[in-house]
Amino acid sequence: MRNRRDITKYCIDALLKAGIPKAQCILRDSSKDELNAEKGEISLLRTTNDTSLSLTGMIDDKRGSVSINRTDAESIDKAVREVLELAESSKPDSANDISEMQPSEEFQKGPGEPDLDLMYDRITAFLDYSRHTYPTLILEQVILDFVSKRSFFLNSNGVDFESRHGFYGFMAMFTAKEGKESSSFNYSGFSAGSLDRELYEYGSMDMLMRKSTEQIRTSHFPGKIVGDMIITPDCLDEFLSAVAMYLSDHSLITGTSIYKDSLNELIADPQLTLHSRPVSDEIASGYFFTGDGFKAENSTIIENGVLKTFLLGLYGAHKTGKPKAVNSGGAYMIDAGKHSLDEMIESVEKGILMCRISGGNPSENGDFSGVAKNSYYIENGEIMYPIKETMISSNLGKVLKNIRRISSERIDFGNEILPWVQIGDITISGK
Amino acid sequence: MIPKELGRYSDLFSDYTELRVQENRSNSIVVVNGDVMSNSKSSSSGVSARTYRNGVWGFVSAPEITDDTIKKVIASATRNAKFLDSREKRGGKPLPVTLASGVKDYSTSLPRKSQKELIEFMREIDSRIVDMFGGISARTTWLRLLDMEKSLLTSDGSSAYSMTPRSIILISLTMERDGEPIELFDAYGGFGQYEDVFATPDSLFEQMDRQYEHLRRKVEGIYPEAGVKDCILDAHLAGILAHEAIGHTTEADFVRGGSIAGHYLHQEVASPLITLVDFAHMALGKLCPVPVFIDDEGTQAEDAVIIDKGVLKQFMHNKETANLFHTKPTGNARAFSFNDEPLIRMRNTAILPGESKLEEMIASVKDGYYLMKPSNGQADSTSEFMFGVVQGYEIRNGKRGKALRDTTISGVAFDMLKTVTAVSDDMKWTCSGTCGKKQPIPVGMGGPAIKCKVNIGGK
């Protein structure tokens, strides 16, 4: 079976024939062309092709799933038998279900093929730029890739989606070094539909590379204070991931989420509006349908500080009795605020510019702490110096409520668009 | 099942080439508050070739394992290397030649359990939590099985077949205090297939009882006083320290990237009580949690003694960094999936036991903390580290006191290890660790308890 749509149809038919009344099949073909550089030199051209065929079946509310990366009839027939065994072995749970019928749709985004010569030229130019502009910077690892995905979703309720998606991705990890002194490592990246400009011009790349060269000599944060923290767009992603965890299936099903009773309640300062926009034209990566078979839509998670949706899938929604989300999260965008970054820094009496956090996972109650990396001490409205061995601690719920300002400037990473966010009442302690 | 022998393809190699056929098989059962939330199996298999030419690499992978695909993958990897070579003209030296061969199959000899039996096992664990542990407000049990089966052939003539399994159960228990959830998780199992690791549910009961008792005390626990304190880091924290804060800084690719360890070779970096080794497969006469006999470049894996009695002795290498550092490869090149290239990865990183008794070490602390379990950890190229601590106790006048709520420890590892004044005479492995560095990979982390000064977070 060479035709990919025929394969998914064969899978659904085989699952039904095996006596599985609710069946779902996702077939994904992916290819990646990846250029790697180590220590500022191109080192590897990697080309990978893979297939993933995921079959899910439900019998009498009992669920089983099998994923393989073969598409020949013998492998599929074996996988169908395994789905049957897994589902029959499980325990009934009325929350198990597949998505209801929706109109069939095909989606397409981004280029179909990489421009390998352009990729080579761009990464070479990036390495040259770094070498000449930031001679103290060591590019430990640089990866430029192009990912092409073709996906099919079919289920026994007649849902039939197909998507083709191609985009470039870039990541650079670097350390600045002079003699025996060095900065902490830092990294950034982006996604893009084309490579129409130099790599250092995307996202926050050039700014972070420059800042690393300032961070070779660091000083201790003075004492222990409760003060302000301005989170950079690169660092903000860590906080958003933690918020998303409290809004997702596991936290809400176990009832441990700090937001379990907060739908339509004020959970953040009214300045904060957070979207998840996986099908936005502004997002190069993203997705078109969810893993449980719903066409993805853009959503607003927090509007003017009010929680408007959880990030529950079909199972989680059934299990908790709360509404299902229209997407699976990610592709986050925060609306720009009214203050310039300079105004935000000027407003800080004592605090830090938090550029990267090395932190533990937050506790179930939202408490977290971490070390401020690649970060700066701010005093009387001025950035004083880069800091070392500085710990911050707070509670995630309080962080959202203690937002003081959001910047008018935002960074477009291609997979997220985020501003700087100023938070009050953070415990900051030096050594 | 993948082909165990690839010798017939050796004629297709023109430059230095590694050919690897691999299948990863996993099984996951998640039971949340008694409901089977996940019940899934997956397998991912395919072939890859990596070719070296004058200082640059080409890598290609495909999911089919047929003669035709293997030939195409070798030809395409060679083409990728030629493409880069034609542009870069690096003129790199040939790689060191290593020759090794062997078969290590750790498949169970016991009859395989059905999925129904595995689910029943997990539900029995869940039932015990309900029946025996009062006050639990949320519970999650997760069975995670992984078999990694690899065949390797290199143009040097190395050939290897391995089947390396791992079987883990993670249990998370939550209780409430004034409506606020307090969680403690623990990992059970380790190296081996399910049948060899988990005989019966009651084999877990003793450890589960201890986990519950620690959680009960944690609910009544306190936050530690912030600052630099005398601490006893138990084995699991010593293990993550060895891996994250020292191990990564001594991977030769990180050293090239600017790691601080690059300046410390043959210098005293720790107390003379500290010896730290990345074990290949055997440690103190026993098989390690992640045994590696031949790495994915076909090099015989050897122990890397990183710190010997406080002195930094060596880095971990693949063939390319061994060339650059004028030394031998150590067998640390490992890939997670068939479509991943081998990277320098740790295997089983541990501090070696000393001569002190744990109870005497605790008794020697007047005002400090006994820190037992980490959540996660991160470290920097400067060896500055931060670990979450989810289980621990205060020590007052040499006696264990109240339990601790979640906290963090941080510091600069090469400074902190100089403060070590005692190392216990026992050793425990953390067998459930997965390290992330472009790709995930199973690792072992181990150690005794160490007495040191460390910065603790407080609240």
Average pLDDT over residues B401-406: 95
Q: Tell me if A359 and B256 make a contact (CB, 8 A cut-off).
A: no
A45·B56 Cβ contact <8 A: yes
Nearest residue in chain B measured CA to CA from A177: B258
Share of chain B above pLDDT 90, in %: 93
For residue B457, the model assigns a pLDDT of 79
Nearest alpha-carbon partner for B398 in B234, B230, B235: B230
Q: Give the pLDDT confidence score for residue B415 in this predicted structure.
A: 95
Which tokens go with A65? Answer: 């799933």
Q: Is the per-residue pLDDT at B458 higher than 80? A: no
pLDDT exceeds 70 at position B40? yes
Beta strands in A203-286 (DSSP E): 219-220, 224-231, 274-276
Q: What is the average pLDDT value for chain B, to the nearest integer?
A: 96
- Domain A4-214: what homologous superfamily? PmbA/TldD superfamily (3.30.2290.10)
Q: Is A322 exposed, middle or buried (0-12, 13-18, 19+ CB in 10 A)?
A: middle
Structure tokens at A262: 């907060």
What pLDDT digit, counting tens, does each position of A95-110 carry? 999 999 999 999 999 9
Q: How many CB atoms lie within 10 A of CB B418?
A: 17
Q: Do B57 and A66 touch (CB under 8 A)?
A: no
- pLDDT-derived band of residue B459, with 50, 70 and 90 as boundaries? low
Residues 351-380 of A with CB under 8 A from B: 358-361, 363-365, 367, 369-371, 373
Best mutation target among B36, B218, B325, B456 (most A Cβ atoms within 10 Å) is B36
Distances in Å between the Cα of B451 and the Cα atoms of A308, B233, B405, B454 are: 49, 6, 21, 9
Nearest by Cα to B52 from B180, B156, B189: B156
Residues of A in contact with B51 (CB under 8 A): none
Q: How far off is chain A from B142, nearest CA to CA, in Å?
A: 12
- Separation CA B362–CA A9 (nearest Å): 65
Query: A8-25, pLDDT tens digit by residue?
Result: 999 999 999 999 999 999
A46–B341 CB contact, under 8 Å: yes
CB A431 within 8 A of CB B412: no
pLDDT at A1 over 80: no
- A133 near B CB under 8 A: no
Q: What is the mean pLDDT of residues B17-34?
A: 98
Determine which of A11-15, A272-276, A370-374, B160-164 has the lowest per-residue pLDDT on average.
Answer: A370-374
pLDDT tier for residue A75 given thresholds of 50, 70 and 90: very high
The Cα of B209 is separated from the nearest Cα of chain A by a number of Å equal to 21
Which two tokens mark A104? 């069939």
Q: Which residues share a beta bridge with B387?
A: B377, B409
* A104 near B CB under 8 A: no
The predicted model gives B348-352 an average pLDDT of: 98
Asked whether the beta carbons of residue B438 and residue A431 sit closer than 8 angstroms, the reply is no
* Two structure tokens written together for A32: 């990646």
d(CA A283, CA B330): 43
CB burial readout A388-417, b (16+ within 10 A) else e: bbbbbbbbbbebbbbbbbbbeebbbbbbbb
Averaged pLDDT for residues A229-252: 96
- The per-residue b/e assignment along B218-251, b for 16 or more CB within 10 angstroms, e otherwise, is bbebeebebeebbbbbbbbbbbbbbbbbbbbbbb
Q: In chain A, which residues have their Cβ closer than 8 Å to the Cβ of B57?
A: 43-45
Residue numbers in A near B174 (CB within 8 A): 254, 256, 364
Pair of tokens at residue B439: 């790709």
Count of other CB atoms within 10 angstroms of residue A127 = 19
Of A44, A65, A86, the CB nearest to B57: A44
- Distance, in Å, from the CA atom of A209 to the CA atom of A183, rounded to the nearest integer, reads 11
Q: pLDDT tens-digit profile of B351-362?
A: 999 999 999 999
ipTM of model: 0.93
Distance from CA of A402 to the nearest CA of B (A): 17
Residues of B in contact with A389 (CB under 8 A): 384, 410-412, 455
Residue with tokens 């000899």: B109
The 10s digit of each residue's pLDDT in A156-179 is 999 999 999 999 999 999 999 999
Interface test with B, best of A35, A371, A427 (most B CBs within 10 A): A371
Task: Give the model's pLDDT for residue B272.
Answer: 98
Provide φ and ψ at B432, rounded to 5°: -110, 10
Please compute the mean of the pLDDT values over residues A70-83 and round it to a whole number: 96
Q: List the beta bridge partners of residue B294.
A: B300
Contact B433, B409 (CB under 8 A): no
Domain assignments of chain B as residue spans, ordered by start:
7-219, 227-456
Q: Residue B370, SS3?
A: strand
CA distance linking residue A313 with residue A325, whole number of Å = 6
Interior angle at CA A152, CA A149 and CA A153, nearest 5: 135
Round to whole Å and give the CA distance between B292 and B281. Answer: 5
- Kindly list the domain boundaries of chain A, sorted by start residue: 4-214, 219-429
Any A CB within 8 A of B191 CB: no
Q: Identify all chain B residues contacting A256, using CB atoms and an 8 Å cutoff.
A: 137-138, 174, 181, 183
Nearest-Cα residue of chain B relative to residue A256: B181
Q: What is the C-alpha to C-alpha distance for residues B35 and B312, in angstroms, rounded to an integer?
A: 50
User: For B7-219, which CATH class?
Assistant: alpha beta
> What is the three-class DSSP state of B442?
strand
Q: What is the pLDDT of chain A when averaged over all its residues?
A: 96
Residues A269 and A335: beta-carbon distance below 8 Å: no
Give the model confidence (pLDDT) of A206-238 as tens digits. Answer: 999 999 999 999 999 999 999 999 999 999 999
Distance CA B149, CA B338 (A): 10
* Count of helices and strands (H, E) across chain A: 9, 22
pLDDT (tens digit per residue) in A273-289: 999 999 999 999 999 99
- pLDDT confidence tier of residue B152, bands split at 50, 70 and 90: very high
